[in-house]
């Protein structure tokens, strides 16, 4: 073997990053996708005695139905029958192995399949092969995520008995009874108006709405250089609030028509608003409730206001010295006309459920408790006073991110973990909640789906499907290694994956590439079976060990684990990541941690570039796509959620402000039409690097939005790592 020294790196000549490696990576993309008999979702009939699903097979996608009581399963229809029927329509040509339909409903009594295809809704009767093309699907233009709504104008809103109508005119609230018009408020103006989201009380005798003091909305302008429909560039405009921008001030207002009174919620109780929302009437029409999220996300409250005298009750008050994760861990369910409220909180250090007295605003009891995390509430049964939910971290011998199906009573008694396999679970409940389908898998364990009865005891009834991975194993796929080690605090385990090329040779030395996404809104290392997740196996084929890690600062662990990100997004779990890679390499000498690269997109783009700005003692090569390189440049909700109000910490976390610290090889990729992360964030970072006379490479992809760069960006990313980590010259693509 010939060893060469290039740029300080030792690499194995003529063995990695060559054209045959690229070709094998392309083959992996296709061959590692051939996982069969693994349903992605299930749909139940209304009665709950049957469900149907689709699954990939060597002959194409097939649709199956399953009878819960007997365990009998059969094809929902034969593909060739539907294909023949579809191809009889002019302009349609479809093949059995590529049947791109989306089933909306299955009527088992009529044996009628309703599905969507080519922009239309269709009815299909498998027994006769009869196919009816119905109305065209109304594909309304999808709203941009940040688009402001018009809350000044709208249609009149009828009372529950339709005898009265309420509407906004001249910025005030008016009522019409027959032909008689009555003005109910008189203080509205363009600068402080009553909004059109009018809510009648159930008894039709009161109205609730909000009075708004608006704030100017920042605009994001994007220049499309190469529009398809014309030669000249086009300018696009988006509503795009950023951290520190002014926000509207909202005052909940209640109008009692019987008493001819208007009650205003005191603004001093809801100062410095981020949002006032979820304005709702109680069923008895005696009060409204709404939620208040204070700017900085350290206080979140639920208030009530009574319609007779305007009196106020603070039902729930959540406080945190760091942040309240309202965007990812919020849960509230009102029971029995709000006499009780189920509320989620991390106040004891882990996300748990609490039962509140919904009238007095006191905690009746903590429903769930322990050093584990409630992940998702699936069902609250008010009759049995029990909760069905997903949770993780209960078993110290298992991956703490594995979700399991659980049940508990509202008083906190009879807690049960209903699923037992050492794996990650997804659950589909029958409409009457008498049965459920559990699908479980891991990255190193293919999916199995089973159906269970859900009574006082859980009984396994039938196996629905067992995934077939023989084709990908034959093609050279091997399961990634699941590795964990202690993080920076010396006690908390950090979990991740290690992916090797299919022609792995333990006697060789491989550079390490980390795929990073450290967004605090979730955890990101896949726990379900996902071969070639994010194309990581393809990248490994070029001659790399590829890893993915969830460091501190990400979600779904303890509150302390999550709080590491507070006002410090540049941390991104890097102290844990470096320990994890170093520890993994101690028992894996083929991992060359003198050659470590990193890449990511969006928040991961910020992280990847930040590795060369703040951690270039360890990371040597980075590719950053569509990154938020200064959190003041990105959307308000995501960044203020973790960074809080604007302050010096924003500059401390900025790749742009700290561009002078960059060392190593960097490639920046950005789409010119990115309306998720302002592309100017990348341009400003590039400008700062130029001013510091730093060497880096830059690709702007015309016409592309928020992405990793598409197929061209993927090739450039691979080439960049091959050139700078392997010391090889990529193929001459031209």
Structure confidence at residue 15 (pLDDT):
56
Structure confidence at residue 90 (pLDDT):
86
pLDDT over 70 at 646, yes or no: yes
Structure confidence at residue 97 (pLDDT):
86
Structure confidence at residue 12 (pLDDT):
45
Whose CA is closest to 251, among 227, 231, 279?
Answer: 279
Residue 635 corresponds to which tokens in the numbers above? 């959307």
Structure confidence at residue 8 (pLDDT):
39
On whether the CB atoms of residues 534 and 619 are closer than 8 A, the answer is no
pLDDT band with cut points at 50, 70 and 90 for residue 138: confident
pLDDT, one tens digit per residue, over 561-585 is 999 999 999 999 999 999 999 999 9
Coil, helix or strand at residue 535 = helix
pLDDT, one tens digit per residue, over 496-532 is 999 999 999 999 999 999 999 999 999 999 999 999 9
pLDDT over 50 at 1, yes or no: no
Structure confidence at residue 167 (pLDDT):
97
Surface-to-core class of residue 715, CB atoms within 10 Å of its CB (0-12 exposed, 13-18 middle, 19+ buried):
middle
pLDDT over 50 at 78, yes or no: yes
pLDDT over 80 at 140, yes or no: no
Residue 436 corresponds to which tokens in the numbers above? 């459920």
**DSSP output for 477-530:** --PPEEEEEE-TTSSSEEEEEEE--TT--TTS-EEEEEE----TTS--S--S--
CB atoms within 10 A of CB 421: 16
On whether the CB atoms of residues 32 and 56 are closer than 8 A, the answer is no
Among 140-149, 264-273, 447-456, which stretch is predicted with the lowest mean pLDDT? 140-149
220-224: long-range contacts at Cβ-Cβ below 8 A with a sequence spacing of 24 or more? 220/675, 220/678, 222/672, 222/673, 222/674, 222/675, 222/679, 223/672, 224/672, 224/673, 224/702, 224/703
Among 9-18, 174-183, 653-662, which stretch is predicted with the lowest mean pLDDT? 9-18
User: Is this model's pTM higher than 0.75 or not?
Assistant: yes
Whose CA is closest to 706, among 671, 731, 682, 678?
Answer: 671
Beta bridge partners of residue 407, listed in sequence order: 388, 416
Whose CA is closest to 447, among 721, 114, 37?
Answer: 37
Residues 6+ apart with CB under 8 A from 136: 119, 120, 121
Beta-sheet pairing, 621-625 with 591-601: parallel
Beta bridge partners of residue 73, listed in sequence order: 66
Structure confidence at residue 262 (pLDDT):
97
pLDDT over 70 at 620, yes or no: yes
pLDDT, one tens digit per residue, over 438-462 is 999 999 999 999 999 999 999 999 9
For the sheet containing 332-335, what is the strand order? 332-335, 340-345, 352-357, 362-366
The rounded distance, in Å, linking the Cα atoms of 327 and 469 is 37
- The overall average pLDDT reported for the chain is 95
Buried b (16+ CB within 10 A) or exposed e, 56-74: beeeeebbbbbebeeeebe
Report, as an integer, the average pLDDT of 420-424: 98
Report, as an integer, the average pLDDT of 354-383: 98
pLDDT over 50 at 3, yes or no: no
pLDDT, one tens digit per residue, over 662-692 is 999 999 999 999 999 999 999 999 999 999 9
Residue 490 corresponds to which tokens in the numbers above? 């010396």
Radius of gyration of the chain, Cα coordinates, nearest whole angstrom = 29
The rounded distance, in Å, linking the Cα atoms of 547 and 480 is 9
User: Sign of torsion, CA 92 93 96 100?
Assistant: negative
The rounded distance, in Å, linking the Cα atoms of 240 and 220 is 6
The rounded distance, in Å, linking the Cα atoms of 626 and 675 is 10
pLDDT, one tens digit per residue, over 220-260 is 999 999 999 999 999 999 999 999 999 999 999 999 999 99
Report, as an integer, the average pLDDT of 581-594: 98
What stretch of H or E contains 166?
strand 164-169
Query: What is the distance in angstroms between the CA of the first residue and the CA of the last residue of the chain?
Result: 30
Report, as an integer, the average pLDDT of 23-35: 96
């Amino acid at each position: 073997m010939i060893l060469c020294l290039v740029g300080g790196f030792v690499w194995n000549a003529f063995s990695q990053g060559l054209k045959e490696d690229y070709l094998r990576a392309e083959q992996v993309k296709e061959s590692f996708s051939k996982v069969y008999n693994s349903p992605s979702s299930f749909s139940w009939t209304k009665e709950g005695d049957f469900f149907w699903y689709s699954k990939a097979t060597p002959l194409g996608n097939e649709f199956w139905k399953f009878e819960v009581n007997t365990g009998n399963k059969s094809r929902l229809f034969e593909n060739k029958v539907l294909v023949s029927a579809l191809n009889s329509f002019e302009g349609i040509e479809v093949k059995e192995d590529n049947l791109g339909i989306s089933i909306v409903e299955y009527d088992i009594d009529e044996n009628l399949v309703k599905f969507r295809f080519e922009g239309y809704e269709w009815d299909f009767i498998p027994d006769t092969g009869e196919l009816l093309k119905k109305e065209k699907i109304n594909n309304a233009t999808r709203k941009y995520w940040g688009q402001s709504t018009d809350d000044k104008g709208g249609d009149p809103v009828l009372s529950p008995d339709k005898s009265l109508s309420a509407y906004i005119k001249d910025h005030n609230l008016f009522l019409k009874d027959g032909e008689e018009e009555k003005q109910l408020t008189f203080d509205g103006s363009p600068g402080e108006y009553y909004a059109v989201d009018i809510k009648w009380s159930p008894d039709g005798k009161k109205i609730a709405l909000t009075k708004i003091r608006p704030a100017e909305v920042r605009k994001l302008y994007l220049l499309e250089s190469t529009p398809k429909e014309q030669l000249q560039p086009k300018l696009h405009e988006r509503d795009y609030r950023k951290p520190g921008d002014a926000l509207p001030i909202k005052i909940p207002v209640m109008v009692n028509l019987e008493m001819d009174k208007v009650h205003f919620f005191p603004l001093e109780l809801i100062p410095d608003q981020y949002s006032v929302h979820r304005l709702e009437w109680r069923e008895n029409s005696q009060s409204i409730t709404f939620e208040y999220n204070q700017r900085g996300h350290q206080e979140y409250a639920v208030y009530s206001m009574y319609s007779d005298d305007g009196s106020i009750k603070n039902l729930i008050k959540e406080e945190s010295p760091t942040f309240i994760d309202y965007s990812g861990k919020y849960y509230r369910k009102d029971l029995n006309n709000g006499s009780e409220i189920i509320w989620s909180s991390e106040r004891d250090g882990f996300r748990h459920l609490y039962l509140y007295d919904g009238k007095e605003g006191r905690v009746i009891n903590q429903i769930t408790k322990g050093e584990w995390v409630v992940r998702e509430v699936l069902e609250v049964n008010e009759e049995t006073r029990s909760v069905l939910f997903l949770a993780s971290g209960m078993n110290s011998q298992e991956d703490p991110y594995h979700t399991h199906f659980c049940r508990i009573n509202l008083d906190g008694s009879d807690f049960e973990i209903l699923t037992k396999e050492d794996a990650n679970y997804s659950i589909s409940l029958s409409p009457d909640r008498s049965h459920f389908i559990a699908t479980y898998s891991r990255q190193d364990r293919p999916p199995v789906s089973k159906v269970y009865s859900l009574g006082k005891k859980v009984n396994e009834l039938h196996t629905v499907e067992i995934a077939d991975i023989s084709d990908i194993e034959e093609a050279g796929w091997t399961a990634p290694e699941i590795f964990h080690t202690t993080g920076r605090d010396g006690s908390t385990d950090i979990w991740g994956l290690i992916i090797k090329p299919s022609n792995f040779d333990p006697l060789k030395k491989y550079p390490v590439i980390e795929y990073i996404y450290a967004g605090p809104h979730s955890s990101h290392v896949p726990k379900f079976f996902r071969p070639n997740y994010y194309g990581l196996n393809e990248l490994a084929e070029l001659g790399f060990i590829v890893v993915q890690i969830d460091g501190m600062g990400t979600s779904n662990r303890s509150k302390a684990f999550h709080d590491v990100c507070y006002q410090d997004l540049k941390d991104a779990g890097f102290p844990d990541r470096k320990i994890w890679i170093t520890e993994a390499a101690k028992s894996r000498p083929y991992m060359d941690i003198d050659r470590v690269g990193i890449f990511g997109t969006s928040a991961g783009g910020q992280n990847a570039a930040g590795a060369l700005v703040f951690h270039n003692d360890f990371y040597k090569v980075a590719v950053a796509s569509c990154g938020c390189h200064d959190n003041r440049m990105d959307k308000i909700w995501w960044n203020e959620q973790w960074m809080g109000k604007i302050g010096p910490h924003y500059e401390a976390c900025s790749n742009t402000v700290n561009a002078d610290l960059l060392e190593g090889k960097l490639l920046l990729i950005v789409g010119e039409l990115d309306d998720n992360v302002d592309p100017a964030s990348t341009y400003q970072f590039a400008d700062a690097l130029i001013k510091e006379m730093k060497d880096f490479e830059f690709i702007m992809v015309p016409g592309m939005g928020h992405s990793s760069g598409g197929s061209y960006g993927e090739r450039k990313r691979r080439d960049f790592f091959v050139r700078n980590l392997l010391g090889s010259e990529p193929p001459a693509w031209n």
